[in-house]
Every structure is written in structure tokens, then in C-alpha cells.
Structure 1
């Protein structure tokens, strides 16, 4: 673990840097995001030095082990796409994934996949991508809300994460059924804090694809200053009873990627509806993320249209830069 370099995260460096940042102060909690799923041993190491919010390494191991997760879903009667380790005879009906990976960039069509250690196959299901944000306390789950996600495909990464939009309305019976599933999984897996569940909706049927056992890309779509969701993440027991955020209209977020290499990223006067901004002078490759754009709308469709337009507007600021 310490000294390893996986998924771009150096265990020794991050522990040392966090200790420097903390100084002599005991931090309230350390909140981690995407990128740690393939390194649960790093979470174990971080938990030895800091109070860790959310799920520990042993929980992440169970959630991100494809065979264990599929077995739990099967036992609980939760629809989950079939998985297998060996290449299927009908690859056109399957996708290839890497255990512990996140973000969609690792997902390939099975017929185009290069199988490597940790790869597995999951049956492809046609439908819409729906995500449920929830709070777990180790025994039950509390739904925060639903969002619809979309991809930003490239020839190499056909399922690269593109963005998401918060849904204003969701069928109550379907929401109740999904809530029961998530409570069952929370009890089986010991999930705590903010997590998200990714589904494929095929007509009225929902198929659970995976659980992300940490705050994810949709957190900002649901958060509010009046009821901060990170409070519920740090104190899941309190979050199960506290007031959830209220919203008017819908919000969408979208990752804006570089369409071509940029030798030195320019200094920009960034608008306030942008976050995760690249630093001036950074060298970018085609496909590297540049920023995340946000937009509000009266409904989900309007919010998505607006964020698409804003993303195109932002791209014009660096498209002409060599």
C-alpha cells in the first residue's frame, strides 16, 4: 500500500501531504471521492491517521467485488445484470469493465475490449441511466433524490461520464421499491454516509448496475447551504433524521473535456457557474477534463439544454489556443 502508485494516487504522498495540511489540528473528518475504489488498502491507511467519513476499506472491498456484489443482489432479489469472468460467445450483448474502477472510462464494448487482470463482463441492458443518491447508516438507507446521467463517448471510451441532471419527479411506487432495495444492501454491506446507486431503467424495470460507496458527481445537484449534505455524510446517524435539501426547478452538471491537445492552458476569467477548473499553464491531452459546468432550468430537459449550451460557450475560450 504505502509507496504504491495506482489510479494516480500515491499512498505515501497523500498521507504525508494530509498530515502537513492538518498540522497539529485534529480534523473533523476526511472526506474522499472517486479514485479510491481500486485501493481500499489506502482507505485503511488513511483511517489509521485521520477520522474517515463514509465507508472504510472493508466495505468498499465488498461493494466493488463484482462476484460478491452480484451474489448479494441475487440473494436479496434485486435485479442485477449477469456477470462473468470469461469472454462471452455473444460479445455484442456484453460490456467489459474493470473491478474497482469508476467514471465509465473503463467500460468497453466486449467485442472491442482488451482483457486485463481485474476485467470482467457484464450483460448489456438497453435503457436509461438513472442514479439514486442516498444516505446509509449501516442498517438502512434514506433516499435523497434521483438523477439521469449521460455519457460523453469517445471511440476509446464509449461510456465516459458526461453529466447528470436532477429529476423533479419520480414515480412514488418505484422510488419506494428502490428505497427498500437500498436499505437491504445497506444492511448487507454496512454502507454509511452518502452513496449513490446506478440503475438502468428499461421501461418500468430497474436493474442495479453498481453502488458508488462515496459522494459522487451528482452531490452538487442536490446540495444546499440550508441543509448541507456533507453534514449527513460526516454524521450518518444525524443525517437519517435531519432535514433534506429542498429544490425548485432542476440543476444539471456536465464535464467539459478538451477536444484536442493544449500545450499550455490559458488563464481564463471563469464564470461562477463553473467548478473543477484547470490551472493556467497546464498541458492537456485530448480527452482530459477541463472544468465542470452547471445550469439551472425549470425542468430537467431545460437544465440539460442550458448546460450543453454553456459548455459549448466555454470551449470557445480555449479551442483557439495552440
Structure 2
């Protein structure tokens, strides 16, 4: 168990935790709030990630946003010892063999391959939810039944880049899921392998592009649902945690439909909702993650907008066109700040924008205004640098 310092800025020689993910700034910020010195390995090496971390090690990528496993093993062998806890963020749900190899050599704090299989292998998850009596969309390995609208998804995919309407799967590594209509929300919870503690709900939205109509756009919370639905979801999460052995911080993607709700997906790891919820009045969420992984759940009530004092939101800003980062400094409501001179291609994520307000609508309006303002400033700075 790492030691939690009361002064997270105090310099020391060794890291308390190693954080690995495609983009790990959110977890690095969570470590800072929990009083932990973090060694971070990710693909982007954003300026604020390097400021938050004891050290930030860039990882080699495969394709657009995939970590090269060989480089990851090499960097961990150089920079992390077997006794330092390792927390995984995004990028591993479709690679249980990588997680298994990491678990054999390093001290992983989170869910291992068996739990990943139950939660991220679609047919297994659907069978589990059916046996538990939890509402969920139907899934298919290859063809959709006649008359049913379905979405093709990549097994273990994240961020919505891979999701498209389809009636036939492209083959191994892909599947079809029944398309549901409704309001998309996410439940943040902790698991100790037997029970769940529901922490908060957020609302999610897409930022569609021509080739990625379901690309993740952002989230805002806390929000409240109908009390009977909240109770039903809490009971369902208890059952899923017990059946799949989920430990630590996790989230469930849900669809609120006209006649109730449906569980779309389980993300058995800390995720994007850290930006929304890792603030007062909740305790440091990474600390709760460590405690839950050793079996301890906090006595916390469901977070409400009244208790939080506001609704917070975080939205991903994708590049409308290719450009080179030349704006410095960036506003204080920007996170995941690319280093100066970074070339960002059309459709790639530039950064994350933050906003707060009285409700989700106000938060989204503020995020939209900030996105437009920032793009004007980025474009002008890039043009001036090119002159």
C-alpha cells in the first residue's frame, strides 16, 4: 500500500505509484490529490501531465491510439520495480494477455484478466447480465436479426471511435449490439469483489464526426435519476460486482429508456469521470480505489448536485482541421495541454475543456463557447507562427 503524503508536492526520490494509460493526465491529477508521487507512462506526454507527475515517460504507439506492449514492458522494467503499485487506465480492455503479463511481474492494483473477460467480452457480459436478471441490449457475434437496428463495436474499444451502425460484424474482435434510444448516463462506483458502493451519476454525450458518429464528447455531473431507478441500478451493480469480482473504481454506461433503463457496458477501471467527480465533497478517488482493491468500501451517500454545490463538466475538444500547437499560455479551463510545436491532425483530440454550472445544459453551453473561443485563438496563433 502506498503512503499518502499530506504534502503531495514534497520532493522524494521514489514514486509511490506507477500510472499507465493511453492518456493518463486524469489519473496523474487524481494521484496528486491523493498525496501520491506518480510515475506516468502514456502516449501523449502533455504539459500538465508532466507537471503533475514525478516523471512522465512517453510510450511508443501502434496505429492511432494503441500502446506498443513491447515498449511498455521495457519502460516498466527500467522505471518501475515489482513493489510499486501499478494502476492501469484506458487502453487495456482488449488486451487481457498484456494485463496478465503485467500482473505476473508487477503489483497491479485493479482488475485482472478474469474480471476483464467477464466485463469486456460482450457475449460473456450479456450472459452474465441475463443470468442476473439485469436489463441489457442484445449482442450478436456476426449478424443482426431481421428488423433489429444494431451497432458494430470493437471488443474492448473505448472513446466511441469504433462504434458505427451495422447489421453485420466485420469479424474477429468485433460484435454487434442492439441499438437503444434514450438518455446516456454513467454510474461511478467502487467494488470490493463482493459489493458495490454507488458514488454518483453523470450524463454523457457524443461529439460525432463523419467517420465516428458515436465519438465520445464529454460528461457532466452529478445528476439525479428517479429514486426507484437509482435503487435498481445500485442493486444491479451489487450483483455484477459479486459475480465478476470487480474491485476498485469503475463505471457503468447506462441508457435510460422510455420504460426503464439498460446496462450498456462496464468499464472496470478509473476513467474520464475522474475529471467530473474527483473534487470536494468526495474524498480523493484514487485513495478510495486503493482501499476498495483491498476490500474496504467507504460509507458515502450518493453524491447530489446540492451536496456538490455545482455541476461540473469535462468535454473533449477535437481538431476541426490540422494545425500546429503555438498558443501559450492556454486558459486555466484547459487540461491535457499539448506541448508547443505538436502537430495535431484533423479529428484528433486537442485537449479537454472544463466548465461548471447549475445544470448539465448550462455546463454544455459553457463548454461550447469555450471550444469556439479556443479554436479561434489556436488558429490565429498557428497562422502567426507560420508567417
Normalised to the residue count of structure 1, the TM-score between the two structures is 0.91
Is the 2:141–2:169 contact (alpha carbons within 8 Å) kept by the matching residues of 1?
no
Is the 2:190–2:199 contact (alpha carbons within 8 Å) kept by the matching residues of 1?
yes
> Which of 247, 266, 271 is equivalent to 1:211?
266
Of residues 219-228 and 101-110 in structure 1, the stretch that sits farther from structure 2 once superposed is 219-228
Give the C-alpha shift of residue 254 in structure 1.
Answer: 0.1
Is the 1:265–1:283 contact (alpha carbons within 8 Å) kept by the matching residues of 2?
yes
Deviation digits for residues 96-138 of structure 1, max 9, x if unmatched?
1111111111000115x77142111111111111100000000
SS in 2 for 1:103: coil
Give the C-alpha shift of residue 9 in structure 1.
Answer: 1.1
Corresponding residue of 1:93: 149
Corresponding residue of 1:33: 89
Of residues 173-182 and 271-280 in structure 1, the stretch that sits farther from structure 2 once superposed is 271-280
Q: What RMSD over aligned residues (CA atoms) do the two structures have, in Å?
A: 2.3
Give the C-alpha shift of residue 89 in structure 1.
Answer: 5.2
Please give the alpha-carbon distance, in whole angstroms, between the structure 1 residues aligned to 2:295 and 2:129: 28
Corresponding residue of 2:72: 14
Please give the alpha-carbon distance, in whole angstroms, between the structure 2 residues aligned to 1:119 and 1:139: 30
Relative distance call for 1:253 and 1:204 in structure 2 (3 A) is farther
Please give the alpha-carbon distance, in whole angstroms, between the structure 1 residues aligned to 2:297 and 2:212: 37
Give the C-alpha shift of residue 5 in structure 1.
Answer: 5.5
Asked whether 1:133 is paired with 2:188, we answer: yes
Corresponding residue of 2:120: 64
Give the C-alpha shift of residue 72 in structure 1.
Answer: 0.5
Aligned counterparts, 1:279-298, within 5 A: 279-298=339-358
Corresponding residue of 1:241: 298
Relative distance call for 1:183 and 1:46 in structure 2 (3 A) is same
> Which of 315, 327, 333 is equivalent to 1:273?
333
Give the C-alpha shift of residue 83 in structure 1.
Answer: 1.0
Relative distance call for 1:234 and 1:160 in structure 2 (3 A) is same
Give the C-alpha shift of residue 163 in structure 1.
Answer: 0.4
Aligned counterparts, 1:224-235, within 5 A: 224=279, 227-235=283-291
Is the 2:153–2:175 contact (alpha carbons within 8 Å) kept by the matching residues of 1?
yes
Please give the alpha-carbon distance, in whole angstroms, between the structure 2 residues aligned to 1:110 and 1:256: 27
Deviation digits for residues 38-76 of structure 1, max 9, x if unmatched?
111111222223221211122112211111100001011
Relative distance call for 1:72 and 1:92 in structure 2 (3 A) is closer
Gaps of 5+ in 2: 1-59
Is the 1:195–1:216 contact (alpha carbons within 8 Å) kept by the matching residues of 2?
yes
Please give the alpha-carbon distance, in whole angstroms, between the structure 2 residues aligned to 1:260 and 1:50: 41
Normalised to the residue count of structure 2, the TM-score between the two structures is 0.76
Give the C-alpha shift of residue 203 in structure 1.
Answer: 2.5
Relative distance call for 1:68 and 1:89 in structure 2 (3 A) is closer
Gaps of 5+ in 1: none
SS in 1 for 2:368: helix
Give the C-alpha shift of residue 243 in structure 1.
Answer: 4.8
> Which of 362, 370, 374 is equivalent to 1:310?
370
Is the 1:92–1:110 contact (alpha carbons within 8 Å) kept by the matching residues of 2?
no
Please give the alpha-carbon distance, in whole angstroms, between the structure 2 residues aligned to 1:130 and 1:279: 33
Please give the alpha-carbon distance, in whole angstroms, between the structure 1 residues aligned to 2:83 and 2:248: 20
Give the C-alpha shift of residue 176 in structure 1.
Answer: 1.0
> Which of 247, 254, 278 is equivalent to 1:223?
278
Please give the alpha-carbon distance, in whole angstroms, between the structure 2 residues aligned to 1:129 and 1:168: 12
Corresponding residue of 2:200: 145
Please give the alpha-carbon distance, in whole angstroms, between the structure 1 residues aligned to 2:328 and 2:77: 32
Relative distance call for 1:91 and 1:185 in structure 2 (3 A) is same
